[in-house]
Amino acid sequence: MHTRHRLCQFRKSKHVLHQRFRSRIFHRDTMAAAELKKPFVVVLTGAGISAESGIRTFRADDGLWEEHKVEDVATLDGFKRDPALVQAFYNARRRQLQQAEIAPNTAHRVLADLEEWLGDNFLLVTQNIDNLHERAGSKRVLHMHGELLKVRCTRSGQVFEWREDLNVDERCHCCQFPAPLRPHVVWFGEMPLEMNEIYEALAKADFFVAIGTSGNVYPAAGFVHEARLGGAYTMELNLEPSQVESQFEEKHYGLASEVVPRFVHKFLMGKVERAD
Q: Which residues are catalytic?
A: 145
- Angle of CA points 209, 96, 53, to nearest 5°: 35
Q: How far is Cα of residue 121 from the mean position of the Cα atoms in its chain?
A: 13
The percent of the chain in helix, strand and coil, each rounded to the nearest 5, is 45, 20, 35
Is the peptide bond between 219 and the residue preceding it cis, with omega within 30 degrees of 0? yes
Alpha carbons 212 and 241: distance in angstroms, whole number: 10
Nearest to 154 by CA among 131, 184, 128: 184
Q: Contact 145/127 with Cβ under 8 angstroms? A: yes
Measuring CA to CA, how many Å separate 241 from each of 45, 84, 213, 215? 14, 37, 9, 9
Determine which helix (DSSP H) or strand (DSSP E) holds 210, and give its type and residue range: strand 207-211
